C-alpha cells in the first residue's frame, strides 16, 4: 500500500474548489504569489517549511507548485470522538494581502452537516477566518 506524505507538493490543482478562480478573485490581481521578493510568497514558503516538519500525525496537507495561493488539508477524526476516522477535507485560497488578510476556506461536506462550524454548502464558520 502506498503511503501518503503528510506534506506534499503536487502540480495538479484541477480538483481544488478554488482552482477556477484567478488571482484577481480577491479584487486585485497581483504577482505576490510568483514574485520571489514578495512578502506574501516568502510567508507562504515559511509556512510550507513549518508544515513539512511539524504536522500532527492525523493531518495531511497538499500544496500546489503552480498555484501557491491554494492549499488543501485533510484531517482524520480523532479516536474516541464522534469524528473517529472521519475524513475532513478543506480547500484554502490565500489572498494577495496574506498574512494580514485571512484565507478563504471551503469544507468538502459531501452533503453532511457534522459540526456546527462546518456547513453542508462548504462554508467554514470561524472567527480566525473572519466568517
Structural domain boundaries in the chain: 7-129
Give the predicted TM-score (pTM) of the model: 0.82
79: three-class secondary structure by DSSP: coil
Of 84 and 122, the one with more pLDDT: 84
Tens digit of each residue's pLDDT (9 = 90 or more) over 2-43 = 578 999 999 999 999 999 876 555 555 567 787 888 888 999
* Cell numbers that stand for 40 in this block: 506574501
- Range 7-129 has CATH code 3.10.110.10: yes
Would you mind telling me the total number of residues written for the chain in this entry? 131
Q: In this predicted model, what pLDDT tens digit does every residue of 38-84 receive, in sequence order?
A: 888 999 999 999 999 999 999 999 999 988 999 999 999 889 988 88
Torsion (CA) 85, 89, 94, 99 in degrees, nearest 10: -20
Largest CA distance in the chain: 46
Pairing assessment for the beta strands 59-64 and 87-93 based on DSSP bridges: unpaired
Q: Report the catalytic residues.
A: 125
Amino acid at each position: 500500500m502506498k503511503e501518503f506524505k503528510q506534506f506534499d507538493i503536487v502540480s495538479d490543482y484541477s480538483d481544488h474548489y478554488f482552482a477556477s478562480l484567478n488571482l484577481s478573485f480577491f479584487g486585485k490581481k497581483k504577482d505576490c504569489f510568483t514574485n520571489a521578493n514578495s512578502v506574501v510568497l516568502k510567508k507562504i514558503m515559511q509556512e510550507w517549511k513549518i508544515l513539512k516538519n511539524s504536522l500532527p500525525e492525523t493531518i495531511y496537507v497538499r500544496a500546489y507548485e503552480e498555484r501557491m495561493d491554494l492549499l488543501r488539508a485533510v484531517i482524520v477524526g480523532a479516536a474516541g470522538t464522534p469524528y473517529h476516522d472521519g475524513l475532513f477535507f478543506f480547500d484554502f485560497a490565500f489572498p494577495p494581502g496574506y498574512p494580514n488578510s485571512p484565507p478563504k476556506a471551503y469544507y468538502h461536506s459531501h452533503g453532511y452537516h457534522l459540526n456546527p462550524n462546518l456547513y453542508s454548502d462548504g462554508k467554514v464558520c470561524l472567527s480566525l477566518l473572519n466568517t
